[in-house]
Structure 1
Amino acid sequence: MTSDTSTPRTAAGPGELAERIADLVVSHEPTARALRRELHAHPELARTEHRATARVAELLTGTGAHVKLLPGTGLIADVGPAGPRVAVRADLDALRTPESTGLPYASTVPGVAHACGHDVHTASVLGAGLVLADLARTGDLPHGVRLVFQPAEEVMPGGAIDVVGAGALEDVAAIYGLHCDPTLDVGTVGLKAGPITSASDHVTVRLHGTGGHTSRPHLAGDLVFALGQVVTQLPAVLARRVDPRAGVNLTWGAVHAGDAPNAVPAEGYASGTLRCMETEAWQHAGELVEDVVADLVRPYAVRAEVSLVRGVPPVDNEVHSTAALEAASRALLGEDDVLPTRQSLGGEDFAWYLHHVPGAMVRLGTRTPGGPTYDLHRGDFAPDESAIAVGMGVLALTAASARALPARPPAH
């Protein structure tokens, strides 16, 4: 498999290129939609995306793209001339969530589903790649494009770190991505320069004591009571010790201690997610969590062990890259269908790519107009498949037309 290195012809104007890409999207959308349904029916958890990797590689073989499998799962594919490239990224993995959509192509894997739309992301990037490969064959792609199909976005630490370590950003000048947004109607996209998601870490606090009888908690060290103090007071203290504008939020997802009503347990834990809207606050929050937990449990004769798994920093959309996405979106969709969006508390490991090269992420509307809003990470999440064509077009036109490098140097 070799990369297409044909000499580009005189660059088409923005309007002409948008029309050409729109026509190519129509021809390749059935292939992209079929891939989405296949992935949806056969979801794979983080770092087990072997079927998805093989299927995407198969569809790109013969297009002129140079396909390279990544260690484990995932792949990259280069389209068009050699030299500095623009990259577009998709994520392959599914969630450990039972599906309840009732769709004819619903998940066949018990307890696993594409409830975050990564199947739509993958289909959109695959479809954009097919469009770009057509442009490359006719000499209408002015520079090379790299398609990045990343494993393990849904876990911490995520697969983006591994992909960067495997050299996926070598010769890449900028990178773009998208994410399903079920609050936006299909046919629209949401954009924002600057932070668009939040930092996200996993926090687990384990308490250890001697255990004993509930009739004599003073002899045992009342571990359950101490754990209750951690669960209620830690989020409250963080809210007073960190600038409120940083948007620090700690929400517990699991709490467990003991099984018998008349026994004080010797161990217990609380596990949750720490989110920050500002990178600086995120960098210092872990140390603060440890200090506060130690102070909270000290009166109760128990010992605390804090585990913080670094997840992701905020996705910080670079201003020039955001402008490139906006221009492409307006050219394809129209002025009224490119909407401002707000920063969310969700985490996305696309952020790690932006620590190395400039780039931006766009929110892809997936709600059928007039239909219900299916929230992400729910078993009934059912995006409108018309969004695939929108994602294909926006990413293809952005990748093909984003020529100028951002003014600031890439961050490291």
Structure 2
Amino acid sequence: MSITDHVRAFMHTHRDEVIGWRRHIHAHPELSGQEFRTTEFIAEVLRSYGLEPVLFPGTGLMVDLGPDGGERIAFRADIDALPLTETTGLEFTSTEPGVAHACGHDVHTTVALALACALSDVELAVGVRIIFQPAEETIVGGATDVISWGALKGVRAIFAIHVEPKLRVGRVGVRTGAITSATDILEISVHGPGGHTSRPHLSSDVVYALGSLVTQLPGLLSRRVDPRTGTVLVFGQIESGYAPNAIPESGVARGTLRTADITTWRTIEPVIRELTEHVLAPTGCSHTLTHTRGVPPVLNDEVATAMLAAAGTRVDPQSVVQAPQSSGGEDFSWYLEQVPGCMARLGCWSGEGDRHDLHQGDLLVDERAITVGVNLFGSLVDEYCQKP
């Protein structure tokens, strides 16, 4: 029996058990860096299948299967939840007030966990490492810590999936090159002497300066950066003032800077600083710009993407589709800075009703997507075992 067939058989026999894992994780979400119970639950399941997980400092873990020596392929799942209130009304809805698996990490974790258990009694020709990563939902991401703990040692390629509620269940979206964007945060504090609104000519108008900043800076940036890079600056927060007839002494604008181009991400900060100076100079206000670097774009390797697509086609000839490039951020990109790999989109829309979005309390996932994900990864292991 091939590995692909073995994994299929496992999911057929253990489907209810696997769905139970997902519902348990979903009902007990934990925030980034606080995934203690989730880590313990994953470890207990792995040990029940005779596997020996390695715990990371704090939270998260990994487990190796197959030969001890030689290179491995790795699969990464993120295990943290979001600070959101779930509104689905499901029987297994979140039991933690203000915390919910609204980004599908419970599905990612379950797919990786089921893959490990399905392969636990298989003689593999290639080593496999399953990484259960904490703290993906942070600005830099937990991937950098996991890498520093040696999770990529001996790894030749790494793979991941991310649920996609805009894609019908059964479909797998693949894309070579950038599939997500780099995501940084800008905070620009503006300062002036303050004053009365009846005498703006005697002061530096902080509110006017902020208005100029949030309307002009994105436009100017679009004339300095190649539009084909998918670079976009959007301000989502402005704070200033305390009375309608008083010009405040300070204010702040905060926003996100996103790009699908790695070179642009690495070189754009001086451009942002230059344009900010030019916009604010006529206002007479001073400013402080804080540019918090986030994650680079996920750049899917051509060979790894082709192998994942072939694995998906082996499972279902109609499953693989082209995925659009997303402006969202994903810390899986840090792994791809070190080794080649690929992230794919896992369709989770049932085909009926609304297509709920990620990071929303009403996100619904068709649980059939779990079987699709496990079978996809099982077929991919098969691909690598047959590769010279």
Band of TM-score, shorter chain:
over 0.9
* TM-superposed deviation, 1:98: 1.8
Cα-to-partner distance string for 1:93-129 (whole Å, 9 max, x where unaligned) = 1112221111111122222211111111111111111
2:3 counterpart residue number: 17
Counterpart in 2 of 1:204? 187
Partners of 1:342 and 1:118 in 2: CA distance: 20
Please say if 1:380 is aligned against 2:357. Answer: no
Residue in 1 that maps onto 2:29: 43
Name the counterpart of 1:80: 66
Equivalence map 1:185-200=2 (5 Å): 185-200=168-183
Q: Could you tell me which of 141, 148, 153 is aligned with 1:165?
A: 148
The letter for the 2-side match of 1:303 is: S
Q: What aligned pairs does 1:13-412 form with structure 2 within 5 A after superposition?
A: 16-83=2-69, 84-135=71-122, 139=123, 141-332=124-315, 334-403=316-385
Return the offset for 1:264: 1.5
Tell me how far apart the structure 1 counterparts of residues 99 and 271 of structure 2 sit (CA, whole Å): 35
Question: Normalised by the size of structure 1, how large is the TM-score?
Answer: 0.90
Q: How much does 1:156 deviate?
A: 0.8
After superposition, what is the alpha-carbon deviation per residue over 1:128-176, rounded to whole angstroms, capped at 9, x for unaligned?
Answer: 11111122xxx2x112211101111111111111111111000111100
Distance, in Å, in 2 between the alignment partners of 1:386 and 1:354 is: 28
Unmatched runs of 5 consecutive residues or more in structure 2: none
Q: What is the aligned-residue identity percentage?
A: 46
**Quick one: distance in 2 between partners of 1:314 and 1:403?**
29
TM superposition shift of 1:183: 1.2
Aligned residue-pair number: 387
Residues 3 and 381 of structure 2 are in contact (CA less than 8 Å); yes or no, is this contact kept in structure 1?
A: no
Deviations 1:310-344 (A, max 9, x none): 11111111111112211211111x21121111211
Alpha-carbon distance between aligned partners in 1 of 2:30 and 2:209, rounded to the nearest angstrom: 39
Any idea what SS the aligned residue of 2:53 has? strand
Q: Shift of the alpha carbon at 1:207? A: 1.1
CA distance in 2, matches of 1:153, 1:361: 14
Deviations 1:266-325 (A, max 9, x none): 221111111101111111122211111111111222111111111111111111111221
Contact 2:190 2:287 survives alignment (8 Å):
yes
Gaps of 5+ in 1: 1-11, 407-412
Superimposed CA distance per residue, residues 56-76 of structure 1 (whole angstroms, 9 cap, x where no aligned partner): 111111433331111221111
Question: Whole-Å Cα distance in 1 between the matches of residues 55 and 387 of structure 2?
Answer: 28
Query: In structure 2, how many angstroms separate the alpha carbons of the residues matched to 1:219 and 1:107?
Result: 55
**Alpha-carbon distance in 1 for matches of 2:387, 2:254:** 42
AA matched with 2:121: D
- Given that residues 29 and 127 in structure 1 are in contact (C-alpha distance below 8 angstroms), is that contact kept between their aligned partners in structure 2? no
Letter in 2 for 1:343: Q
TM-score between both structures, scaled by the size of structure 2: 0.96
The secondary structure found in structure 2 opposite 1:134 is coil
- SS of residue matched to 1:311: strand
Q: Secondary structure at the match of 1:109?
A: coil
Q: Does structure 1 retain, via aligned residues, the 8 Å contact 2:232–2:259?
A: yes
Q: Is the 8 A contact 1:31 1:127 kept in 2?
A: no
Q: After the TM superposition, list the runs of 4 or more consecutive aligned residues in structure 1 that deviate by more than 4 angstroms.
A: 403-406
- The answer on whether the counterparts of 2:262 and 2:297 sit within 8 Å (CA) in structure 1 is yes
Q: How far 1:404 moved relative to its partner? A: 7.9
SS of 1:275's equivalent? strand
- What's the secondary structure of 1:336's corresponding residue? coil
Secondary structure at 1:77 match in 2 = strand
Letter in 1 for 2:18: A
Secondary structure of the residue aligned to 2:119 is helix
CA distance in 1, matches of 2:131, 2:347: 22
Q: Is this contact kept in 2: 1:64–1:79, CA < 8 A?
A: no
Q: Distance in 1 between matches of 2:48 and 2:26?
A: 25
